[in-house]
Each structure stands twice: as structure tokens, then as C-alpha cells.
Chain A
Amino acid sequence: MMDNFSYSRPATLKEAANQLGKEHGKIAVIAGGTDLLGEMKDNLAAPERLVSIRHIADLQGVRASASGLRIGAATLLADIVENPMVQERTPLLAMAAGKVGTPQIRNMGTIGGNLCQRPRCWYYRNNFPCYKHGGNTCFSAAGENDFHAIFLGGPSYIVHPSDTAPALVALGATARISSGSRERTVPMDKFFVTPREDVRRENILLPNEVLTAIEVPTAPAGSKAVYVKEMVRETWDFALCSVAAMVTVKDGIVADARIVLGGVAPIPYRVAKAEAALMGKPLNEASAAAAGLAAVDGARPLAKNGYKVPLTQAVVKRALLSLA
């Protein structure tokens, strides 16, 4: 049973933000709660107060904006998957959101929650006193690191578990953040932080801030996109490795490529070298293979996750070939 806590249901975003404190973890925002409640049941989080934002109208729904779409942070993942505007303008996001969890989880979980979810590392989830819990070690470094990072690891080797994050980075989306009195916007690739930048947290949100919306530019004209997710089993799991790829071919050659990996680094990991390997080439077996190889350049696997290197290489190649 969870420790008790108080619960509020403020009517507006301003009111909600005003209730947040100066310290992480004491007062928590809850939208769908699909990650937070799991954490609370396992005693990984024990907030004194939950501030519910699920019902706040400003945080809901998909709207057309000048450059693309504005998606309220409390929009359900299922609504994003099915939204005709998302399917038409940013299909990569619809595909990625459709790979999250199971239907019931997509019916409860929100896009904001999917971006802000905590890591799945089994040491963290089993309450080992690691960096993420304020300790001074990462047990995976020399332990059971089968599912951990091959890029940007250290001092913690978690991987970012979100499916929508790589898609949004590939799409060049922007996060809107509010503290009630102050608004700021941050490009999606600056929203996430590596363990070197902040070992306790996975994103830049301050304790008194709420992620309110995601602005997603319409995918470039003529672009094609795909989200491929490899799991231990066929369904209902977090990614061993996922690839969000968006490629624009003009006059037979690649004019633009965005390739972002999930499940292999503590943040959604854009692989510029793989993109460069495609630019100016026709999209075919040879260029896709070259991009796959370039994607794993610099990978630093741990003792038990070496398989992720050829896996990532193959999945990048396969994702790209599916767009050819």
C-alpha cells in the first residue's frame, strides 16, 4: 500500500503550478499516473501531495498551429495515435505513440507523462541506493547491464524509455514549460539531460514547472518516416533499441535525414553520423547499410549489452530500407 498523500485538483494551470514546491519529489504532478503510481507503489517515489492536471482544458488536445501542431501535454497517447492531423502532418509521432505499452496504458497515459517517465533500470526500480535515488554509484556499471546504455553512459547507465521522445526529437519539436508565472520553450533535444549533466534527473524541468505542451512542426514536404522498436518479446515492453527515422528524397537522392535512437542512451540519441552517411546518396541497400554502420560508431557497450551494437546497426538499416 502506498503512503498516504494529499490530492488536489486545481482548475487552472496557474493554480496547479502555484501548488508546486521548490524541491523535486515532495509535490508531484499527476496526469495519467501510469508511471508515477507504479513508482509510488514500489516506494521509489513518496510525494506528500499530488497535483492532478489531467482535467485542465489548456493541457488537452491537438490543435493546428502556424507551423504544425500544438499538442497539450495531458493529451492521451491513444488520442494522439488516432488523431487525423497527427497522422497527416507528423505521422512519425502517431507511429511512435502507437508503440507505447498496451491499449489500456495508451488510454490512460499522456504524451507529457511519456516524456517525463522515469527510467526502467532494474536497480532503480528495485530501490537499490543508486545515483537516481541520491546514492553515489550505478550498480549496472559492473552488474547486470543487459538492458543499459551503449552511448553517453556514465556515471549512470540508464536508457531513456520513451517511444515518443525519439520521434519528437526527429521532428524538431519544442517543449512548452510553465511555472505559472514564467513560460519558457525548449527544443526537444535540449529537454533531456545526460547523467553527466544531472545524474538524478532525466530532463530539465524544475520542481515548480509543468510541461504544458509540445509544438511539433509539420514533417517536411515529401518526407517519409518510420518508427521501429525492437523488444525482448513482440509486444508490451520497453525498447531494447528503437529508431525514429525521417528521410526526404529529392531527385533520387537524400536531401534531409533525421535518425534518432531510443533505448540505447540516457537520452533520445540523434545519430548525426548516420544522417551524414545518407545525405546526397540514393536511399538504397548500400547507403542504408552505411548509415547503420555509422550509427554505432563510438558505441561503448558494457559487459552484457554488446548485442545492442549489431542490433542497433541492423535496426537502423532496416528502418531506412523500409522508406526506400
Chain B
Amino acid sequence: MKLSVSIQVNGRTYDREIEPRLLLVHFLRDSIALTGTKIGCDTSQCGACTVLLDDVAVKACTCLAAQADGCSVTTIEGLAPDGRLNALQEAFWTKHGLQCGFCTPGMIFAAQALLRVNGNPSPEQIRHALEGNLCRCTGYQNIVRSVQAAAAAGVR
């Protein structure tokens, strides 16, 4: 059985026929070729697949594309549409908030969710807000510094 869905991703609407079992993360990576969203664990643990679904951060590996029908999704590609990093990404760049970069798209969305509600988070609060994201390279110190730098630069 196929299902018709219409999902807006980074401002553009994609109408597709999908199998109901297709996960949102596979829709993004395979159906519409946006591979910025990563799959680390496929079990809701690591947060590498984090995207915004109707503006809140969710794990795209544990969400059916069918559940996103009629919704708007933002992926990491949507943050730098013309190839220029946004201020939060810039902070990760300058503070070395990544090594291999695999966790970074997810970290960015988790950090963004925090900065929206708290413009001046303590390192404790940053760690707490990133509890759903793992960095396989264990670069947490610099990730926290990156988020602090973004906050200092006025990212909200």
C-alpha cells in the first residue's frame, strides 16, 4: 500500500508516494536527497537525526514520514540555504565544536531550541539541553563552549 504525503522541507513542498513504513529520516536522506541529517543509532538514543518538525526538535529516526504529512520540516541544509553558515553554525566552527561532524546537525538543532528560550544559558543548562544528543568523538567541552559563544553573539 502506498500513501500520498505532502511534506514541506526547508520551505519547499515535496509531494511523494511513500510506503507507510518509511521513516522521516529516510524520506529526507533517500527520497529527497538531503543527507545533512544523519542516522547514528536508529533507536532514539543519539540525536544525530534531529530535525525541526513544525518548529520543534524531534528525532527523525523515530518518526514516520507519514506522521510528518502536512507538516513543515527544517533540516540542517535549511539553516544555510545559500551555503553561508548561520551564526550558531559559525560559533561551532570558531570554537571547534566538532571533530568528525556527524553529531553536529543534531547538536545545532538541540542548541537552537535552548537558545530560543534561554539567551544566556549556564554550562549546566547547556549540558542539560543537549541530553538527547551524543557526540561519538566526545567533544562535549567544545560543544558547550560553542553554544556559549553563540549565546554571547546574540543567537536566539
- Name A residues whose Cβ lies closer than 8 Å to a Cβ of B: 1-7, 9, 30, 33-34, 37-38, 41, 50, 52, 54-55, 78, 101-105, 107-108, 235-236
Contacts and interface: CB of A to CB of B under 8 A. Distances in A.
Contact of A4 (B1, B43, B63, B69): B1
Given A38-B62, A235-B131, A5 B113 contact: no
B15 interface: no
B4 to A, nearest CB: 11
Contact of A107 (B3, B23, B43, B57): B57
Interface in B1-44: 1, 3, 19-21, 23, 42-44
Given A54-B67, A103-B110, A105-B132, 10 more contacts: A4-B20, A5-B20, A7-B66, A9-B66, A30-B64, A34-B44, A38-B43, A78-B56, A104-B47, A235-B128
A74 to B, nearest CB: 12
B44 A1 contact: no
A5 B22 CA distance: 10
A17 B93 CA distance: 51
Contact of A3 (B3, B21, B69, B128): B21
B31 to A, nearest CB: 15
A104 B110 contact: yes
A107 B129 CA distance: 13
Chain B interface size band reads 20 to 34
B58 interface: yes
Nearest to B21: A2
Nearest to B52: A107
B67 A52 contact: yes
Interface of B is mostly: mixed
B3 A108 contact: no
Contact of A236 (B21, B69, B131): B131
B43 A41 contact: yes
A7 B131 contact: no
A245 to B, nearest CB: 23
B104 interface: no
B20 A7 contact: yes
Contact of B1 (A6, A37, A55): A6
Contacts of B113: 103
Interface of B: 1, 3, 19-21, 23, 42-44, 47, 50, 53, 56-59, 62-64, 66-67, 69-70, 110, 113, 128-129, 131-132
Contacts of B47: 102, 104
A100 to B, nearest CB: 11
Contacts of A54: 67
Contacts of B59: 104-105, 108
A33 B62 contact: yes
Nearest to B51: A104
Given A9-B69, A104-B110, A41 B56 contact: no
Contacts of A9: 66, 69
Contacts of B21: 1-5
A41 B42 contact: yes
Contacts of A52: 66-67
B64 A108 contact: no
Contacts of A236: 131-132
Interchain residue pairs A-B with the least CB separation, the first 6 = A102-B132, A7-B20, A107-B56, A235-B131, A108-B58, A104-B132
Contacts of B57: 103-104, 107
A38 B67 CA distance: 15
A33 B110 CA distance: 20
A102 B1 CA distance: 33
Contact of B131 (A4, A78, A102): A102
